[in-house]
Structure 1
Amino acid sequence: MSKKIIILGAGLSGLLTAYRLQNKGSEIEIIETRDRIGGRIHTVHSNIAQVEMGATWFNDVHVNFKKLLSELELDYFEQFMQGTSYFEPFSAAAAQEIEIPANSPSYRVLGGTNQIVESLKNKLDLVTIHLNETVNQLHFENDKVKIMTQNQYFEADYVISTLPQALFANDITVTPTLPEKLTAIASKTHTWMQDSIKVAFIYATPFWRNKQFSGTLFSNVGPITEFYDQSNASLDKFALCGFVSSGMEMYNPAERLEKIKLQLVKVFGQEALQFTSYQETVWSKETATKSPKQIGFMYPHQNNGHPLFRESYCDNRLFFAGTETAKQYPGYMEGAVIAAENTANVILKL
């Protein structure tokens, strides 16, 4: 008799876990809170832009992620960093011109990072994905687990959570209760990008490249803290994209944009205001990223990769496979791949 596995979350780790377990004798379903797949991978496509509002970059040390790209027959290209870059050390001084060494390149997925999750989804022939379903309770009893959402309930033999650990600990009631040592660590585990605000300006022409600028900005002043060229590989869509300081969350979108525009002009000149459209994602306000119950400061990657996350619970019926659980590169796409592969292997051994 086949076993039923339910995976919480349709991000990279959830989809890859399902793909590794597909056709291995189990029935698999995925439950996703959002109205889309991808989780913290979120590429915004339009006829004039292709910008990454979520996970974007990887490099040569991310060998498992690169291996997955090869398996999925997806290509990648090097992040454009050529020309003059800028650094703002403090507000009283003009931005300094700097050169970025080319010894450790970063890469982006050709066609957008969402090509990975779409490719995996297209390969999940036997897996049902339920969108717009928020899990709020797990009941383990009689060798089964009941998964309650706001709309319905599911029953399974195994549950694999790929949700951010703090979100799982704060927002899902588990019966019987999980070990206190696990919930205490999980509730204090930083979710990578949970406080990030990502912005993108789309342009008809890459004015910065025409001036031999890289489009790169690092700033201690803000509101932009990091900015990069986000033009696509075929150079027919052009954008500047990056992060603004988390303190900008206190402003409304219009106020935030006005403050960012002041910095753009200061660093790049008046041409920077000739953008055709603007995108922003405040990740703390995004569905299923940061629990509303989560309070207090957390260090980046706090408790990421904790060994408790790689144990099984509830008599080998509850497993964790989100990127923050990975032993190496937790929080990154590489960590999501490692966590998915490891958890799938553990399940298959059962």
Structure 2
Amino acid sequence: MKTDILIIGGGLSGLALAYRLHQAGRDFQLIEARNRFGGRILSEASKKGSRFDLGPAWFWPGQPRIINLLSELDIGYFTQYSKGNLVFQDQSGNIRRDINMATMEGAYRVRNGQQSIIDALVERLPQTRLQLNQQAHSITAINEGAKVNLSDGEMEANKAVLCLPPRLAAANIQFTPALDNNLSHKLISTPTWMAAHAKFIAIYDAPFWREMGLSGDGISHIGPMVELHDASPDAPARDGAIFGFLGVSAEARKGQKDEIIQACTRQLITLFGEKAANPIDTFYEDWSEETLTATDADANSPQSHPHYHSIPIHDDIWRNRLIISGTETASQFGGFLEGALEAGENAIHQL
């Protein structure tokens, strides 16, 4: 198969790029290695049908691209719940429930989960242009374009756009001729945002902590969850939910899913009382074990948010055939949803 533009990666950046190319009448194909679209966006449904985000949870005012896209796709959003006190647990296990602070006050969440964005983009694209279960194994420069070896067959394109973490591209794709050392170093040294993290969500019949004057926010110096937040939908009569980021290292989490889920539930009882003892559902996602998200180099999280920037290609061969995209290449909002859309815009300009 031949195409003008081959998009490699079906997360938000790749799908948003495909959506804009489709609106412009451009010829493209999009391939995704997973059996689903969304990349690090993953929303799971509870027994009542509410969807909860196991990947990114928020976006913020001052991020116009995601707000405009939600409006364009007719998807609602709401403000993160922040009324009430925060639960704080110190290193000795002492607990305070009298701190009037909300760490994510003012942040926005997507109604019915961020998967709604992915679903809406996929629905608006010709299905003949989208392929799942197609991983790019190698890219070879040919004539004035590139030949991409896939899980099933191959594809030729005038330009290939890598809409996936740069580090993952360096680890999983063989380039012929090889990328120059400077470009390879930039790909390998760019950390994949949130790739080392794990997230736990407990679902309840209702957000009972609100009746206790608590916001659902929590900070713990014991763990296993170190940061917690209310994850309830904006129709709280339907479900209540709390999620937490794990403070246990990726190495220590390996093979410990059941034990971690049990430990997280016990921690919720400690922080929020006996009503937390019997969640009607739980979800757990360890992104460090997702081979299509993280590499071995991503086992440890950066100590602070990395300063991401574009990764230009100066090589005479590859600069006319290859574009490096994805949220880790966005200089203003790298790592965020807004950064994924920013990277897509940058790719459009290069195309």
| TM-score of the aligned structures, taking structure 2 as reference length | 0.91
Counterpart amino acid of 2:327?
T
The CA distance in 1 between the partners of 2:248 and 2:138, in whole Å, is 31
Farther off after superposition, 295-304 or 177-186: 295-304
The 8 Å contact of residues 80 and 104 in structure 2, kept in 1 or not, is answered as no
Q: Provide the residue aligned with 1:306 in structure 2.
A: 309
Q: Provide the residue aligned with 1:228 in structure 2.
A: 229
Q: Provide the residue aligned with 1:61 in structure 2.
A: 62
Q: Provide the residue aligned with 1:129 in structure 2.
A: 130
Please state how far the C-alpha of 1:306 moved relative to its aligned partner. Answer: 3.0
Q: Deviations over 1:70-108 (max 9, x none)?
A: 222222101111112112232342245311259950110
The CA distance in 2 between the partners of 1:290 and 1:148, in whole Å, is 21
Residue 279 to residue 121, structure 1, CA distance change in 2 (3 Å): same
The CA distance in 1 between the partners of 2:272 and 2:83, in whole Å, is 16
The 8 Å contact of residues 159 and 321 in structure 2, kept in 1 or not, is answered as yes
Q: Deviations over 1:286-333 (max 9, x none)?
A: 2410124x37756257765234x1447514210012000001110110
Partner SS state of residue 26, structure 1: coil
Q: Deviations over 1:126-177 (max 9, x none)?
A: 7521111111100011112111123211111110001111000111101111
Farther off after superposition, 324-333 or 200-209: 200-209
Q: Provide the residue aligned with 1:239 in structure 2.
A: 241
Farther off after superposition, 80-89 or 323-332: 80-89
1:289 maps to which of 280, 288, 293:
293
Counterpart amino acid of 1:108?
R
RMSD value, Cα: 2.2
Counterpart amino acid of 1:76?
Y
Residue 296 to residue 126, structure 1, CA distance change in 2 (3 Å): closer
The 8 Å contact of residues 45 and 51 in structure 2, kept in 1 or not, is answered as yes
The CA distance in 1 between the partners of 2:227 and 2:340, in whole Å, is 24
Please state how far the C-alpha of 1:273 moved relative to its aligned partner. Answer: 0.9
Q: Provide the residue aligned with 2:119 in structure 1.
A: 118
Counterpart amino acid of 1:12?
L
Please state how far the C-alpha of 1:204 moved relative to its aligned partner. Answer: 1.3
Please state how far the C-alpha of 1:119 moved relative to its aligned partner. Answer: 1.1
Farther off after superposition, 325-334 or 125-134: 125-134
Please state how far the C-alpha of 1:3 moved relative to its aligned partner. Answer: 5.7
Counterpart amino acid of 2:12?
L
Partner SS state of residue 95, structure 2: coil
Residue 141 to residue 304, structure 1, CA distance change in 2 (3 Å): farther
Q: Provide the residue aligned with 1:340 in structure 2.
A: 344
The 8 Å contact of residues 58 and 106 in structure 1, kept in 2 or not, is answered as yes
The 8 Å contact of residues 166 and 188 in structure 2, kept in 1 or not, is answered as yes
Q: Provide the residue aligned with 1:84 in structure 2.
A: 85
| TM-score of the aligned structures, taking structure 1 as reference length | 0.92
Q: Count how many residue pairs are aligned between Structure 1 and Structure 2.
A: 344
Please state how far the C-alpha of 1:205 moved relative to its aligned partner. Answer: 2.1
Residue 130 to residue 3, structure 1, CA distance change in 2 (3 Å): closer
Please state how far the C-alpha of 1:211 moved relative to its aligned partner. Answer: 1.6
Residue 102 to residue 6, structure 1, CA distance change in 2 (3 Å): closer
Q: Provide the residue aligned with 2:276 in structure 1.
A: 272
Farther off after superposition, 128-137 or 24-33: 24-33
Please state how far the C-alpha of 1:178 moved relative to its aligned partner. Answer: 1.0
Residue 163 to residue 304, structure 1, CA distance change in 2 (3 Å): farther
Q: Provide the residue aligned with 2:179 in structure 1.
A: 178
Q: Provide the residue aligned with 1:214 in structure 2.
A: 215
Q: Provide the residue aligned with 1:141 in structure 2.
A: 142
Farther off after superposition, 294-303 or 152-161: 294-303
Aligned identity (percent) is: 32
Q: 1:36-55 alignment to 2 at 5 Å?
A: 36-48=36-48, 49-55=50-56
Q: Provide the residue aligned with 1:6 in structure 2.
A: 6
Q: Deviations over 1:1-53 (max 9, x none)?
A: x9611101111000011111115353211110111101111111234242110
The CA distance in 1 between the partners of 2:10 and 2:16, in whole Å, is 9
Residue 276 to residue 122, structure 1, CA distance change in 2 (3 Å): same
Partner SS state of residue 122, structure 2: helix
Counterpart amino acid of 2:204?
Y
Residue 296 to residue 253, structure 1, CA distance change in 2 (3 Å): closer
The 8 Å contact of residues 145 and 158 in structure 2, kept in 1 or not, is answered as yes
The CA distance in 2 between the partners of 1:298 and 1:242, in whole Å, is 16
The CA distance in 2 between the partners of 1:103 and 1:246, in whole Å, is 22
1:252 maps to which of 244, 252, 256:
256
Structure 2 unmatched ranges of 5 or more: none
The CA distance in 2 between the partners of 1:227 and 1:176, in whole Å, is 47
Q: Provide the residue aligned with 2:34 in structure 1.
A: 34
Q: Provide the residue aligned with 2:18 in structure 1.
A: 18
Residue 315 to residue 92, structure 1, CA distance change in 2 (3 Å): closer
The 8 Å contact of residues 195 and 299 in structure 2, kept in 1 or not, is answered as no
Farther off after superposition, 215-224 or 167-176: 215-224
The CA distance in 2 between the partners of 1:79 and 1:158, in whole Å, is 40
The CA distance in 1 between the partners of 2:104 and 2:204, in whole Å, is 29
The CA distance in 1 between the partners of 2:70 and 2:88, in whole Å, is 33
Q: Provide the residue aligned with 2:101 in structure 1.
A: 100
